[in-house]
Amino acid sequence: MSVPDPRLIPVGHTDSQRGFTVMCSIVPPYMLRRIAARNEPRLRAVARAAKESLLHIKDLQAIRTAPIPPAPPSARQAKPGPPKRTIFDAGSSETLPGRIVRKEGAPPVGDVAADEAYDGLGSTHRLYGEIFGRDSIDDAGLSLDATVHYGKLYDNAFWDGSQMVFGDGDGQIFQRFTKSVSVIGHELAHGVTQYTANLAYRNQAGALNESMSDVFGVLVEQYLKQESAGDASWLIGEGLFTEQVQGAALRSMKAPGTAYDDDVLGKDPQPDSMDTYVRTSADNGGVHINSGIPNKAFYVVASELGGKAWEAPGQIWYGTLTSGSLPATCTFGKFAKTTLATAEELFGSGSAEHDAVLKAWETVKVKV
């Protein structure tokens, strides 16, 4: 797999501590490493694809680029505008963005991946606009671009700082990555974080970065389906696995550590409280693993309050993300305190919402 030309790579999420961009991908490196280590004849092509995906992540993260500045207040509208979507087809190449196949307002083109990407971008834009009053990812009407059919047997989807990119999967472990709207919502939420708190992508701040994307990924899906907190699956990437995999999704917010248990992928390693927090230097300090802890906290808030998770729970988490109070190197404790302060500001001290947030962090054993 060739190293991309830096001139062709849009700006990525900036790790403020290290000064270079980080590609935020949906499939954790630890999962790809397990696949890459397989040597059975039936899995050789899959293992090769996983190795190439790992190299690709490393190559993109090594490219130094300048961060995208937030949109100036003058560019923002009082009322969110309509989406501006463009879908590109990379044609199994690694050159971005590719050939335009569908633009805003055009009818479906009959390419399942292209049409799913178009619809998923629209669902994400709708959640932010209708529920949070946000005008696209940057709150200033940013165009939503996505490339499908990226690479050959490419086992990932990622936000590179300017657009979404989707692989088609290897066909044995993963199906096409446009199939799950929670994946689309997750990756675009990395853009929202980039334009707001800009949480560093390592250690607890990185786990919070990943968790915020999981939170808004499930909210996009639940809002699309009009599901209550009690009826929702709380799964990230449901439907991505083929029938050969023993697993439901990449992650479970309701029960971290239970999303899959497979002879190839191993068992889901996510902890659900600080009792089993994973201390590691891998995956930028465990950003995809330890995100299970704040994920569980959000689920507890939503389940305690009932109803629609995009209402009070979503407003508290969105208000926290956009509060300006989160340092780039935010810890779980600081984030928990800020959610509690946001709940108090929005609903009052001693309210059901405030008490639900307090119970959530107590459940996952994060000190507030």
**Which residues are bridge partners to 86 per DSSP?**
103, 145
Model pLDDT for residues 217-245, shown as the tens digit of each residue = 999 999 999 999 999 999 999 999 999 99
How far is residue 361's CA from residue 368's CA, in Å, rounded to a whole number?
A: 7
Over residues 147-153, the mean pLDDT reads 96
Which fold is adopted by the domain 203-363? Neutral Protease; domain 2 (1.10.390)
pLDDT at 5: 33
Mark out the alpha helices in 196-259 (DSSP H runs). Answer: 203-225
Average pLDDT, the chain: 90
Local structure of residue 54 (DSSP, 8 states): H
Over residues 21-45, the mean pLDDT reads 87
pLDDT at 152: 93
Model pLDDT for residues 43-85, shown as the tens digit of each residue = 999 999 999 888 877 666 554 344 455 555 555 566 899 999 9
Beta strand ranges found along 213-336 (DSSP E): 235-236, 251-252, 261-262, 266-267
Scan for tokens 């509690």, then name that residue: 340
Burial bucket for residue 65 (CB in 10 Å: 0-12, 13-18, 19+): middle
Catalytic residue among 13, 56, 125, 288: 288
**Distances from the Cα of 153 to the Cα of 31, 168, 241, angstroms:** 16, 6, 14
Which helix H or strand E contains 191, and what residues bound it? helix 181-195
Model pLDDT for residues 273-332, shown as the tens digit of each residue = 999 999 999 999 999 999 999 999 999 999 999 999 999 999 999 999 999 999 999 999
Our answer to whether residue 104 is catalytic in this structure is no
Our answer to whether residue 125 is catalytic in this structure is no
Look up residue 182 and give its two tokens.
């929670």
Q: pTM of the predicted model, to two decimals?
A: 0.91
123 pLDDT exceeds 90? yes
Predicted confidence band of residue 161 (pLDDT cuts 50, 70, 90): confident
- Delimit the domains of the chain by residue range: 203-363
**Distances from the Cα of 302 to the Cα of 45, 190, 226, 265, angstroms:** 41, 21, 14, 30
Local structure of residue 208 (DSSP, 8 states): H
Scan for tokens 């446009």, then name that residue: 178
Edge to edge, what strands does the sheet with 164-166 contain? 24-25, 157-159, 164-166, 144-148, 85-89, 99-103
Model pLDDT for residues 36-45, shown as the tens digit of each residue = 999 999 899 9
Number of helices (H) and strands (E), helices first, in the chain? 10, 12
